[in-house]
Amino acid sequence: MSAATRSPWRSIASHAVLLSYTLIALFPVFVIVINSFKSRKAIFSSPLSLPDAQTFSLIGYETVMKRGDFPLYFQNSLIVTVVSLVFVLLFGAMAAFALSEYRFKGNTLMGLYLAVGIMIPIRLGTVAILQIMVATGLVNTLWALILIYTAQGLPLSIFILSEFMKTVSNDLKNAGRIDGLSEYKIFFTLVLPLVRPSMATVAVFTMIPIWNDLWFPLIIAPSEATKTVTLGAQMFIGQFQTDWNGVLSALALAILPVLVLYLIFSRQLIRGITSGAVK
Amino acid sequence: MATGATDSKPVRWHILVFLLPAVLVYSAFMIIPLGSTLYQAFFSKAWAFVGIANFEMLFTDARYSQSFWNALRNNTWFFIIHMLVQNPIGILLAALLSNPRLRLRGFYRTVFFIPTILSFVIVGFVWKLILSPTWGVSQGLLKSVGLQWLFQPWLGKEDYALTALSLISVWQFIGIPMMLIYAALLSIPDEVIEAAECDGITGWNQFFKIQLPLVLPAIGIVSILTFVGNFNAFDLVYVAQGAVAGPNFSTDLLGTLLYRTFFGFQLQLGDRAMGSTIAAVMFLIILTGVCIYLFAVQNRLTRYQF
């Protein structure tokens, strides 16, 4: 709409719309974070003002630290997310390489089989997943979550990575073969480094739903020792519903790390979604 | 089958090695459980084969059918609100952002996506607090613009709770439609736009006649993603309204119904067979939606190759 830019009014109007949506997007987060630093009285008397010397209070954070084991929840979330991510990327890249590099009987069929999970949510298999976890004694372990999230993340990662693997030059791989490199060496030393940018994209995509999931931690691993941040925050808030300071601080604590990570990786994420269209 | 051995060539073991870990984990924790859950929908609690009796019970028996049809109706409304609200807003924001001379576009892009990265737990509670009459943040805000008569405890009223939750969910996910449509808009070559301008088609006219038809495939993808996500939604309702999806089941979705049926709540015992049956119905609904998209919608949307 280049004609639109020529008129200053058009430009002002678009900024007005965009700024109002900025307010809508940020306001709830902003209100929670500022109020988590206030005393109980100030939360109710002036919920929209910034904390000042009089109203500043860390009482909510103290409650959270005392009552909930948030460092442990963070550790659990971190372990589950990072290990699942490594599996999704490694296994996903390997399968994507097999599908995009070699011609073999059943290649297309295997590709379709692995793509089913992109559209069909893994949640629908929960009944049987719980049975499997009970049978193998994995209930209430982080491994149960890691295996489920690996299975959940693989279809999309294979799909995206095989698209990128197709762009790696054949000459390079064949040169490696002539030099006597094994297929494994070709994958790990030649191909993998070249698709690293796309792996970062897949990583961000895979990470968010894992970190934010409530369903599987609630069903498969709800024990105190294996709670993730999402489940921990949910249960803490459910228990301390009337302790507004505690609730607001728990929310702020759950928001801030994700927000910081997002601000660091937002370019990667946005570039991933728009698959390179963003300049 | 994956080894691809033919008579003349040796077995290429490396293909198997590359595929095996992914295929194993994916089959064991996704495909087999899915299949097994569907299979269990045809068995009673005591593992006797009952054919489609579970489905009959779900659709017609008074104990289940009422909550099932209620959840299905709610879920459909949930989806309709998403389509009606998220697509126009997404298109508007994407159109404004795609203006190449717009300043601060990186900033807006980043900000609009923030709600999407937050978990349902955070989003659910944040909005629950903000809409709570006890705290009074939304009353205060509405009052400051002279609209305090508009205030209602939206999440607490049977008539509004589901719509309010749908809008909260739209607030959270607007980033995805916006980004996908935005990417589609950016990939339209400049020549097409210039040609339109030469023909005197500018401004909104240009947008509706040139850009919008070209981004229809992206809107199609957004719609199917929303469909799958909505008919499988659980977290937001569970967090904001609890497993009983109050007030009076007015926000009950298929996901929360599945959870309650499978695990039980209050006095009702968990029922594996009926849980599987609900999961099977959800599977069929989602599968139907995906098939309609893949075979009917996707083929009809004209794709332009530049």
> Which of the two residues, B146 and A221, has the higher pLDDT score?
A221
pLDDT of residue A20: 92
pLDDT of residue B2: 47
Most confident of A122-136, B49-63, B290-304: A122-136
Q: Is the ipTM of this complex over 0.90?
A: no
Question: Is residue A184 pLDDT above 80, yes or no?
Answer: yes
What architecture (CATH level 2) is domain A66-273? Orthogonal Bundle (1.10)
Question: Is residue A113 pLDDT above 90, yes or no?
Answer: yes
Residues forming a β-bridge with A56: A38
CB pairs under 8 A between A and B: 294
pLDDT of residue A1: 44
pLDDT band at B289 (very low <50, low <70, confident <90, very high): very high
Question: Is residue A82 pLDDT above 90, yes or no?
Answer: yes
pLDDT of residue A135: 94
For residue range A23-58, what is the model confidence (pLDDT) as tens digits? 999 988 888 888 888 888 888 877 777 888 888 888
Q: Which residues of chain B are within 8 Å of residue A234 when distances are taken between CB atoms?
A: 121, 239
Residues 176-215 of A with CB under 8 A from B: 182-184, 187, 208, 211-215
Cβ-defined contact of A211 to B234 (cutoff 8 Å): no
Instruction: State the Cα–Cα distance between residues B231 and B288, nearest whole angstrom.
Output: 12
Cβ-defined contact of A14 to B96 (cutoff 8 Å): yes
For residue range B76-91, what is the model confidence (pLDDT) as tens digits? 999 999 999 999 999 9
A56 contacts chain B (CB < 8 A): no
Q: Name the minimum distance, in Å, from the CA of B84 to any CA of chain A.
A: 17
For residue range B84-134, what is the model confidence (pLDDT) as tens digits? 999 999 999 998 988 878 888 888 988 998 898 888 888 888 888 888 887
Cβ-defined contact of A104 to B12 (cutoff 8 Å): yes
Cβ-defined contact of A106 to B2 (cutoff 8 Å): yes
Cβ-defined contact of B272 to A1 (cutoff 8 Å): no
Share of residues in chain A with pLDDT > 70 (%)? 95
Cβ-defined contact of A147 to B1 (cutoff 8 Å): no
Instruction: State the Cα–Cα distance between residues B175 and B181, nearest whole angstrom.
Output: 10
pLDDT of residue A5: 46
Instruction: State the Cα–Cα distance between residues B203 and B133, nearest whole angstrom.
Output: 43
pLDDT of residue A205: 77
pLDDT of residue B204: 79
pLDDT of residue B1: 44
pLDDT band at B40 (very low <50, low <70, confident <90, very high): very high
Instruction: Find, in chain A, the residue whose alpha carbon is nearest to that of B263.
Output: A219
pLDDT band at A148 (very low <50, low <70, confident <90, very high): very high
Cβ-defined contact of B121 to A254 (cutoff 8 Å): yes
Look at phi and psi of residue A106 and say left if phi exceeds 0, alpha if psi is from -120 to 50, else beta: left
The CATH 1.10.3720.10 portion of chain A extends over 66-273
Query: Which domains are delineated in chain B?
Result: 53-300 (1.10.3720.10)
Q: Nearest CB to A121: which of B186, B187, B228?
A: B228
Q: Which residues of chain A are within 8 Å of residue B23 when distances are taken between CB atoms?
A: 95, 110, 114
DSSP string, chain B: --S---SSSPP-HHHHHHHHHHHHHHIIIIIHHHHHHHHHTTB-TTS-B-TTHHHHHHHH-HHHHHHHHHHHHHHHHHHHHIIIIIHHHHHHHHHHHT-TT-TTHHHHHHHHHHHHHS-HHHHHHHHHHHH-TTT-HHHHHHHHTT-GGG---GGGSTTTHHHHHHHHHHHHHTHHHHHHHHHHHHTS-HHHHHHHHHTT--HHHHIIIIIHHHHHHHHHHHHHHHHHHHTT--HHHHHHHTTTTTTTTTT--HHHHHHHHHHEETTEEP-HHHHHHHHHHHHHHHHHHHHIIIIIIHHHSPPPP-
Cβ-defined contact of A270 to B113 (cutoff 8 Å): yes
Instruction: State the Cα–Cα distance between residues A244 and B128, nearest whole angstrom.
Output: 12
Q: Which residues of chain B are within 8 Å of residue A117 when distances are taken between CB atoms?
A: 26, 30-31
- State pTM to two decimals: 0.87
For residue range A250-269, what is the model confidence (pLDDT) as tens digits? 888 888 877 888 888 777 77
Q: Which residues of chain A are within 8 Å of residue B206 when distances are taken between CB atoms?
A: 1, 3
Question: Is residue B7 pLDDT above 80, yes or no?
Answer: no
Whether A124 contacts B284, CB under 8 Å:
no
